[in-house]
Structure 1
């Protein structure tokens, strides 16, 4: 029998940036959890705000996990540094979205070639992102995770 327990690192207990909540130290807040669940059932957007360290992240992660809600986090401090909310959403989407093929440009030319007449054909794909507003695109991304 050992008199000493293995050393526990702070990140083994306090895990605010983890995708899941540490159930050993999560403090249930039934009133706030219920309000958040009710807000999820309505057709409006939700903003969770408050002082740093109050447990906002764990609150939404706990409720979202229980309710099987997918989400993406956008740090709104970036809206200030990038110049707008749209720019903050664009920044998030840039890290999430795959660029899609949208058009194919075909170039043809004809002319005399050694040994006869010939035709040169060259084509390139043009890659662009969707034309929706950034917030609308982010909502679509969250609605279809892993697409």
Structure 2
């Protein structure tokens, strides 16, 4: 039987690798773990999300986001969502107000330079991810 340990990475496509690297480094504090090289040129990289989780980024000029894409967003757990929102706003990036979600988490949303949706998450002691139990969706 297989036992999944955790999500290893989410992969996104970027129109501009260096603008994308700067966004994830300067706005979200995610450092580059390593680059992918082909013919001596960088065409992608791994970003460290903490622990053993990463975001994998590849150059793809023709990529476009749609609400019809099979994968809609990825979510990053943050230590303090209020501080995260203040930091992101200070960087000039649009971020939603924090919302107390039906699963008893705090959440806010941003988009990267490529239109990728990113959910920011802060767990609480009552979060369904820890306590279980069905929740009534409020969206």
- Normalised to the residue count of structure 1, the TM-score between the two structures is 0.22
Q: RCO greater where, 1 or 2, for CA within 8 Å and sep 6 or more?
A: 2
More strand by share: 2
Structure (1 or 2) with the larger CA radius of gyration:
1
